[in-house]
Structure 1
């Protein structure tokens, strides 16, 4: 309780400091300190290997996203996406002069409306991404533009980068600090007399790598989507250093060499990412491109001790299980209470999933996707294995999380455990998943037990949830010969499968939802095993998923 209270107070103080700082940044004195620059040109336009989406660009040209509508640009609570200008790639992908002109118009509009300061638009990671996109797309949107327009852009870049240099170490950490450091490096490489920005950004980035990217290659947030984003940022930094004839950074290169194999270890059979800790599936071709650009060919770590995602690929089946401890305080804004959850695919389609995140981090559906019951794992008394704060982050969390992996004649056994339900119920949850060598037999065992020094043994209701992908169809449900139950389910591309469970638990099918694909929330179903744990002896529930 004391730890949770301390974290809550710390977050409250941080929010208060942010509001005070925002008042200062909007003031005339701070704006005067940002000053102006004598630079009149960009020395380097960095290479940009990431393609845009021409259909998205055409939609923007038609006004489909309403980026320029008063209700979006003038409202106080702005969506973050328009501010980062990553969509300039989409306009570029249209190959049209209309896209170029619209890009100039929207940049001018942004400078007019937000060129002084805005609490969202000038957030360090968003500002950094905007600077990167303005510089890497500079030739595209400035071609044919007036000299006055180019001057305004350069002046704005200089002012934003000065602010970024001032606030980055104070207001960011983790993935956001990596992004902010990247922005400083880009400005230092591209503007005249701005090299101090490059050196500062590189020092900051190398410090963050050494303290926040684990030896197994995983980022501290334990979020597959952020793992992908950080790897892309590191690749971009390596590229801009080479293009500006700066010495390469062994620290950056080493991080790329570690992070790329870890990203491979977070992929399901469809090439997308596992939906854990605020992550989304993402597009497989983008992940392929990132891994190709990394130049790293290393295989996923078999047993990543820090990041904790265990991946098994056998035959056409892929299983990714979360056996890691929750992200540490300061890196847990997106964290879920999904300990020992797993996802499973067959061929190039998903079968078992977690419910996933929501694009708006502080929304009700984002919180709903973070609770333990939104994951394919065991839940005690409908509680969370870690305490969740509604605006992101964790309070109470397990004191002990264990993981082990064993290879048995081609088959793989993953074992994990945690005491997240210990404070309320004096129970420990352990999960064991076996995957056969051909991937057609996946067996699980969920065990509840009392710790050695348990002082009480309260009854504890439990539910083991298996959320199904929306495209999975439940075909039938029947009794097993030994008294258990069988649920037959299928999905095109995966074939037909059977879910088996032994007698002694109640089995049912309930409604669920899925929002891991960035395509909006979808209705789906879940298989639920429920029962009650009583007494002091361990209680084990066995289940299996087998191809029919």
Structure 2
């Protein structure tokens, strides 16, 4: 039985907790063996910085402020390896040295000196294999940043510190060579293998790891990158992260034709048009399934480094339908929820839309509550947290709890839409998509279809949401549920229009229209065929901020009567 087969058999046999202990034990053994490996002594060539951060986040780190389960932990200036390590997510980010990109971006002598101190403190405290920072993906992330920022790290250090730095890199390279296969498929495995490739490229005495790592990376590209350039988690931010890793590898090996892997190049060629299809006018990514907007400059740099000029994939990518005209861009989630890859991050966002006018956001989702409390994380995954439609206040998907009997591999299975239909159309007036899902059939016997059209001028977006019972069995189910709720063949449903915090909204015309004013003064009018609109306070999560931002949502309410209900709405930009 191969190691890959063992990894899949073992948790099914004895459960997730035992699998974690087993993997941790295997990691520990690999760490002990890695300590006997010959240490690296120098770089084969001078590394160049290839990772970029945000100075605002760097200032937060330097001040000792960390977001842990929705609360700001103030450890004190100059303290990094403290109380924040008690939280697994925070610990992974700290041990992965994500923060060093941000601290370096502050670009002061004091910030650079502090980054050095924290790195050598990590070697002293954790370099021998202690702590929770030795998962393969975290280790891969860490060594890439250590090598990228080598010029800063080794600036005016003592000889013993330099020796400790190279010894720690050699130790981690040996560990990655033994344990990269245990990383979860997808982004974690790409991170582990990229770290191994960088060790082979940069360090003297590590040439033997390079070709095997590149071959393994090519196999992962074949297995994980779809023909449309998408990934199984359907997370646009993760797609960019993988693309950035592969682009950095390809650029680093391009000077030596012996190392170029055609599978990596082909994967980049598939991914670039998909990434462009999922970007808005300001260069940010659509925020679906746990992904954040990303850094536009970093995305631009990765695309430029890859040297792939292919335009945006026509009609969208990775299960997201794209409509664009006159500077207006609408993206709709038009595929099944990701039940593989990263189901614990999947959101109940089928048929949800995000919309930009030029470089400014209009309709958004609540975003990823990663790093906040469990309650906020669950709320952000609900259908009502998106610009989508809910029936009787419920979500179109149900997420299994931690004690659920079908929970496997530590990830959550999803009771989600099984059948999704998508049609596209265009004519002399504009372009449109029609999509439907059966997520509400098990609970209510109801199907939801949504048609979105964008006029060629980009000045108007038209929406048609229809909720209906399709078959005799569905109608019977609907009648039963309506009777249980004390209704006679009638159930409410709501269309949610979530607004970006930078947009200002006012209700007009007897609450039948909403005026949405963007930062540049541009106004969009939301109307729903005379139906009354209501305004609600809500939250907007943005990664890198220590707290959520307050914002508004407009809600249109109607009812399913005699097996059918319709909401027709328009968003228009007056001339």
Determine the C-alpha separation between the residues in 2 that align with 1:94 and 1:476. 42
Match of 2:535 among 509, 530, 533: 509
SS of alignment partner, residue 189 of structure 1? helix
Q: Is the 8 A contact 1:367 1:390 kept in 2?
A: no
Corresponding residue for residue 469 of structure 2: 450
Determine the C-alpha separation between the residues in 2 that align with 1:321 and 1:527. 18
| 394-403 or 511-520, larger mean C-alpha shift | 511-520
SS of alignment partner, residue 333 of structure 1? helix
Q: Does 1:378 align with 2:392?
A: no
Determine the C-alpha separation between the residues in 2 that align with 1:30 and 1:135. 20
Q: Is the 8 A contact 1:327 1:335 kept in 2?
A: yes
Determine the C-alpha separation between the residues in 2 that align with 1:173 and 1:277. 17
Structure 2 CA distance for partners of 1:415 and 1:361, relative to 1, 3 Å: farther
Corresponding residue for residue 209 of structure 2: 197
1:10 Cα deviation after fit: 5.5
Determine the C-alpha separation between the residues in 2 that align with 1:462 and 1:102. 54
Determine the C-alpha separation between the residues in 1 that align with 2:421 and 2:459. 27
1:60 Cα deviation after fit: 5.4
SS of alignment partner, residue 220 of structure 1? coil
1:247 Cα deviation after fit: 2.7
SS of alignment partner, residue 414 of structure 2? coil
Corresponding residue for residue 15 of structure 2: 13
Per-residue deviation, residues 164-199 of structure 1 (Å, max 9, x unmatched)? 233222232111111111111111222234234222
Q: Is the 8 A contact 2:136 2:182 kept in 1?
A: no
Structure 2 CA distance for partners of 1:545 and 1:335, relative to 1, 3 Å: same
Where in structure 2 are the equivalents of 1:163-182 lying within 5 Å? 163-182=175-194
Q: 5+ unaligned residues in a row in structure 1: which ranges?
A: 1-8
Structure 2 CA distance for partners of 1:423 and 1:63, relative to 1, 3 Å: closer
Structure 2 CA distance for partners of 1:393 and 1:539, relative to 1, 3 Å: same
Structure 2 CA distance for partners of 1:395 and 1:112, relative to 1, 3 Å: same
Q: Is the 8 A contact 1:413 1:432 kept in 2?
A: yes
1:518 Cα deviation after fit: 3.8
Q: Is the 8 A contact 1:275 1:516 kept in 2?
A: no
Corresponding residue for residue 5 of structure 1: none
Q: Does 1:470 align with 2:470?
A: no
Structure 2 CA distance for partners of 1:134 and 1:433, relative to 1, 3 Å: same
Corresponding residue for residue 419 of structure 2: 400
Structure 2 CA distance for partners of 1:362 and 1:229, relative to 1, 3 Å: farther
Corresponding residue for residue 451 of structure 2: 432
Determine the C-alpha separation between the residues in 2 that align with 1:85 and 1:15. 27
Determine the C-alpha separation between the residues in 1 that align with 2:431 and 2:87. 52
1:110 Cα deviation after fit: 0.5
Match of 2:569 among 540, 543, 547: 543
SS of alignment partner, residue 250 of structure 2? helix
1:521 Cα deviation after fit: 0.7
1:372 Cα deviation after fit: 0.9
1:135 Cα deviation after fit: 1.6
Per-residue deviation, residues 85-112 of structure 1 (Å, max 9, x unmatched)? 2443445455555445433322221112
Cα-Cα RMSD:
2.9
Determine the C-alpha separation between the residues in 2 that align with 1:341 and 1:12. 38
Where in structure 2 are the equivalents of 1:78-89 lying within 5 Å? 78-89=90-101
1:293 Cα deviation after fit: 2.1
SS of alignment partner, residue 261 of structure 1? helix
Corresponding residue for residue 322 of structure 2: 311
Per-residue deviation, residues 191-241 of structure 1 (Å, max 9, x unmatched)? 234234222322222222112211111222111211211111011110221
Q: 5+ unaligned residues in a row in structure 2: which ranges?
A: 1-10, 67-76, 403-410, 483-490
